[in-house]
Amino acid sequence: MRGQLLHRDTKTQASDATLPLPDICLTAFKLRQQQHDEAEAAAGKAWHETGLVFTTRYGTPIEPRNFQRSWQTRCEKAGVTPITVHDARRTCATLLADLDVHPRVAMQVLRHARFAVTMEIYAQVTSTKTREALKRLGDSLSR
């Protein structure tokens, strides 16, 4: 199914629960809502209401290949390395771990049903955190 556009239910009912967003995300969604409203007004009768947040200029779902091309272009313009959506989830897990967020909370944020998936597959330990832990360990042993 790779590269195909799928619109389906989430895997579990828990995945449908409301999740509060950081302010930076809310700001981005407000901007996106303005763009959506402008596109709808410009499209007029050609607009197709789908209830999706990110759409084509006519309100239809974005095809995966087109999304990928657009994403690649935006990343190049910004001078950042492109990552996949899956990589973004891993980054979120790793950032939460770096912020010392309890693993069960990270599991809830990522909507994982199993703790092991969050901690063993998604969350990576950064070298900074490793150095900090070893320094703390050394400090505690030298007392």
Q: What is the pLDDT of residues 99-119, one digit of tens each?
A: 888 888 888 888 888 877 887
Same domain, 77 and 89: no
Q: What is the pLDDT of residues 125-140, one digit of tens each?
A: 777 877 887 788 888 8
Write out the DSSP string of 8-36: ---SSGGGGS-----HHHHHHHHHHHHHH
Looking at the domain assignment, is residue 17 inside a domain? no
Count of domains forming the chain? 2
Among 82, 106, 133, give the residue marking a domain's end: 82
Given a contact cutoff of 8 angstroms between Cβ atoms, the answer to whether 119 and 136 are in contact is no
Same domain, 93 and 127: yes
Nearest to 40 by CA among 56, 17, 28, 24: 56
Same domain, 143 and 87: yes
Among 30, 60, 82, give the residue marking a domain's end: 82
Residue 32 CA, distance from chain mean position: 16
Looking at the domain assignment, is residue 7 inside a domain? no
Looking at the domain assignment, is residue 3 inside a domain? no
Give the integer Cα–Cα distance in Å for 43 and 20: 32
Percent of the chain with pLDDT over 70: 97
pTM of the model: 0.66
Give the integer Cα–Cα distance in Å for 112 and 121: 11
Q: Range of 64's domain? A: 22-82
User: Alpha helices, DSSP H only, in the chain?
Assistant: 23-43, 64-78, 85-98, 103-110, 115-116, 127-141
Looking at the domain assignment, is residue 94 inside a domain? yes
Average pLDDT over residues 25-49: 95
